[in-house]
Structure 1
Amino acid sequence: MSASDGWLLAVTGYAILLAWPLSTVILVWFAVRYVGTHRARVVNKTLASGDGKPEHFWIIVPALNEEAVVANTVRAALGLRGAAGTLARVLVVDDGSDDRTPEVLAGIDHPRLHVMRRELPEARQGKGEALNAAYRFIARLCAQEGIPANRVVLGIIDGDGQGSENILVEVGRLMGDTRVGAVQVQVRIRNRTKLLGAVQDLEFGAIVDACQNMRDALDTVGLGGNGQFSRLSTLIALGDAPWSSCLVEDMELGLRMHLSGVSIRYTSRSSVTQQAVVDIKRLTRQRTRWAQGNLQCARYLGSLFSSGNITRTSLVEILHYLISPWVNAIVAVLLSLSMIVGALGLMIGHPLPILPTWVALGLSLGIWLVVTTFPGLIWVLVHRTKRGDESMSRMLVAALAYPAFLLLGLVATYRALGRQLTGKQAWAKTERLVEEPLVLQTA
């Protein structure tokens, strides 16, 4: 390798390395500029004269062995109110639980609570199948009651989820625009007193929020597994089973909606909270499942390129969302290998042209350390500015731990690739932590 080739590789390597903090700055701009929702003037004008506001809400709670949390989730959902006091009906899908979940649900006597018990072999076929069963039940019931499907909204709140008081009002406001078929609300972490919980809230409360605000600007919002709200008419247009068996059925549903020309909105004016996974092993398993689901959604790449309902800019952002985890994993390995080979070369007296001295190697490592630490520190400032509900000291510790959190994500990405190549699809559900009981509001 010539000296010129070495310099070219060095410049390329630093450019790749510095792309991350640069992209962070761009996302921070969206996070700070678009507080709440994007396209405010255009959208609010549409909403003011829109005729799409929903009149009926159903909250679907998929439950598989959720005895520790399902009572609080149901009580919180039953207490949600929409515009003009609209109350939501709650449908819990007990997907073959073999713990005390059925007994806990039987102990909640409320006229707006419906429990659907699924038994094997239909049960435990994945969250998507449980949601499809709930969707079909609601669709039949609405048809029998003569309720227009475009006036009905189905919200998904996980077994450990709790929606903010204004969640139905905000979703209804955004759906005043008849073009909006789904809304994703912000996700926050409830149990963030431990370090892992604080890091996950930094991720959801600042980074994911900024990404979704940017995607809202480009009309490429993605749906999450928790806090997604869809019009019944939008789901009906997607067939008898809108959710698939994909490991991230929410991501796939969002892609299908975009391919159908459905507009999805995002808001951080309302939120749903969930429990953090505070065990490293379980957290790695969760992120591996997410990464494998992302890989499964790659089958939509051809449809995305040929779709006439997606603009070129939106296509680029969706492709970035699908491909970037794998690019990051490859780049991280290449950079790590270059540092290791560079050190070995210096030790045996045959240095690489791009790392000719120990000083150059140390400088590269220093830049790498700064680059990996910088984004977390910036996101702490965003979190503090927008959320303001955590101490600076706690979030600074979370920021310093963020690079290790990303390393865990890289491990999960490679595990996901191995599982997909070997055909492994089975997953153990995420365990919940016991919480103090909520008081059920009577209404």
Structure 2
Amino acid sequence: MVSLALLAYMMVDFGRFLLYWAGSAHAFRHNRPAEPGDPDVFQWHLVVPCRDEDAVITATLDGLRASTPRAHLWVVDDDSDDRTRELVLEAAARDPRIHLVQRRRTGSVGLGGNGQFVRLTALDELGRGTGAPWPERALLEDYESGLELRLAGYRLTHVHETRVSQEGLVSVRRFLTQRTRWAQGNMQRLRYNPRVLRSPHYTLAGKAEVLYTFLQPVVCVLLVLLTPVSLGISLATRICYPQDAAVFEQRFGLLMLIAFVIAALPLVRWGAVYRTSVRPERSRRTGLLWGLLLWLYTYHLFVVAVRAAVRLLLGRNGWAKTRRNAELTAVGAPTALEA
């Protein structure tokens, strides 16, 4: 009975994921790009928020200058402790379109997340009474600020034609550290569930998406806990009741195998969709390989979810900024330390 209950639970959870994937795939495939415009009719200003980034700030400015020769580059330095300010000033001396904006330490330079822009007046409104638009110990302050903005009635828009380039993590340890922080941040946001469900500013689909995101690490932890229990019961049944175990395998063994295969199909299919829509010059075999790698990649969610749950139970909510690849050693506590 426990094995059947676990199988039913996995199927329900898979169905929930399948609905979410189907909606995402539909939006991805039916998105119509806007008509291309003439960039020369605009004066471009690019904002680079940073703090303690002397290892990468020069390369960042050089890359932006190479891709946007006539743009003004505004570096918003959040009172760095390293040589970020000096390096930006050196670059500005060579290039009059590079500007430095120096801020006193606030803990945030105002641009939460990658490629996210928020009106200052909206953040000020959220911070009335508390002095901050998100809780002090929030691990995902960018997401929480978005939740607070939506709950307050502000309109949030995703611009499909934009993209963000960022440095990839080449260290498994730093990768797991970053993903653990995200999982723990999702667990912290479970307290938003009642407000989201009652909010008139969220559609039914929006509420389902938010709840799916919040509950994903929780479901991973439950599956990790239930799997050894189910395996133990199955092993005990095989030893104590071999005939019953054989009957169960005959009845449901193929069904469980099919469920396992079906669980991988949406992710494998996504590789083919991505190849067709974004990289049509690549072969179908490459698209299939991307999908298989994506399927294997998702299993790290179980690892980081358990780590996040343990940290949450121990009351460990502090994190340092993820170290850049160019930083061989820590620049200065608490910046660039591994958690």
TM bucket by the smaller chain?
0.7 to 0.9
Equivalent residue of 2:74, what SS? strand
Give me the whole-angstrom Cα distance separating, in 2, the residues matched to 1:233 and 1:58.
Answer: 20
Once the two structures are superposed, residues 297-328 of structure 1 have per-residue CA deviations (whole angstroms, 9 ceiling, x without a partner) of 22333433444433444333322322233224
Equivalent residue of 1:268, what SS? coil
Give me the whole-angstrom Cα distance separating, in 2, the residues matched to 1:8 and 1:295.
Answer: 25
Who is 1:107 aligned against?
90
Who is 2:331 aligned against?
none
Who is 2:122 aligned against?
234
- Where do residues 173-192 of structure 1 align in structure 2 (5 Å cutoff)? none
Q: Does 1:388 align with 2:279?
A: yes
Give me the whole-angstrom Cα distance separating, in 2, the residues matched to 1:70 and 1:405.
Answer: 30
Who is 2:294 aligned against?
402
Residue-pair matches, total: 312
Contact preservation (8 Å) 2:50, 2:76: yes
Once the two structures are superposed, residues 321-360 of structure 1 have per-residue CA deviations (whole angstroms, 9 ceiling, x without a partner) of 222332244245435643453244224435777x744455
Equivalent residue of 1:310, what SS? coil
1:234 is matched by which residue type in structure 2?
A: A
Contact preservation (8 Å) 2:20, 2:209: no
Residues 8 and 103 (structure 1 numbering): CA distance in 2 closer, same or farther, change over 3 Å? closer
1:69 is matched by which residue type in structure 2?
A: V
- Where do residues 325-336 of structure 1 align in structure 2 (5 Å cutoff)? 325-331=217-223, 333-335=225-227
2:74 is matched by which residue type in structure 1?
A: V
Contact preservation (8 Å) 1:252, 1:297: yes
Who is 2:335 aligned against?
none
- Where do residues 18-417 of structure 1 align in structure 2 (5 Å cutoff)? 18-36=15-33, 59-64=47-52, 66-76=53-63, 90-98=74-82, 100-109=83-92, 110-116=96-102, 122=105, 129-131=106-108, 134-135=109-110, 156=111, 225-239=113-127, 241-242=132-133, 244-245=135-136, 246-331=138-223, 333-335=225-227, 337-339=229-231, 341-350=233-242, 356-359=247-250, 362-363=253-254, 366-388=257-279, 391-392=282-283, 393-417=285-309
Equivalent residue of 1:90, what SS? strand
Give me the whole-angstrom Cα distance separating, in 2, the residues matched to 1:349 and 1:377.
Answer: 38
Q: Does 1:428 align with 2:316?
A: no
- Structure 1 gaps of 5+ residues are 41-53, 123-128, 136-155, 157-223, 435-443
Equivalent residue of 2:297, what SS? helix
Once the two structures are superposed, residues 189-219 of structure 1 have per-residue CA deviations (whole angstroms, 9 ceiling, x without a partner) of xxxxxxxxxxxxxxxxxxxxxxxxxxxxxxx
Aligned CA RMSD, in angstroms, stands at 3.7
2:279 is matched by which residue type in structure 1?
A: G
TM-score where L is the length of structure 1: 0.59
Q: Percent identity?
A: 28
Deviation (angstroms), 1:263: 0.8
Give me the whole-angstrom Cα distance separating, in 1, the residues matched to 2:5 and 2:305.
Answer: 29
Contact preservation (8 Å) 1:80, 1:88: no
Contact preservation (8 Å) 1:62, 1:130: no
Larger RCO (CA within 8 A; separation ≥ 6):
1
Q: Which has the higher strand share?
A: 1
1:91 is matched by which residue type in structure 2?
A: V
- Structure 2 gaps of 5+ residues are 36-41, 327-339
1:248 is matched by which residue type in structure 2?
A: L
Deviation (angstroms), 1:34: 2.2
Give me the whole-angstrom Cα distance separating, in 2, the residues matched to 1:397 and 1:56.
Answer: 39
1:73 is matched by which residue type in structure 2?
A: T
Once the two structures are superposed, residues 216-256 of structure 1 have per-residue CA deviations (whole angstroms, 9 ceiling, x without a partner) of xxxxxxxx710112233333333353355311111011001
Give me the whole-angstrom Cα distance separating, in 1, the residues matched to 2:126 and 2:97.
Answer: 30
Once the two structures are superposed, residues 270-292 of structure 1 have per-residue CA deviations (whole angstroms, 9 ceiling, x without a partner) of 10111222222211110001111
Residues 9 and 324 (structure 1 numbering): CA distance in 2 closer, same or farther, change over 3 Å? closer
Residues 420 and 11 (structure 1 numbering): CA distance in 2 closer, same or farther, change over 3 Å? closer
Contact preservation (8 Å) 2:48, 2:76: yes
Residues 14 and 417 (structure 1 numbering): CA distance in 2 closer, same or farther, change over 3 Å? closer
2:102 is matched by which residue type in structure 1?
A: M
TM-score where L is the length of structure 2: 0.75
Contact preservation (8 Å) 1:57, 1:89: yes
Contact preservation (8 Å) 1:18, 1:371: no
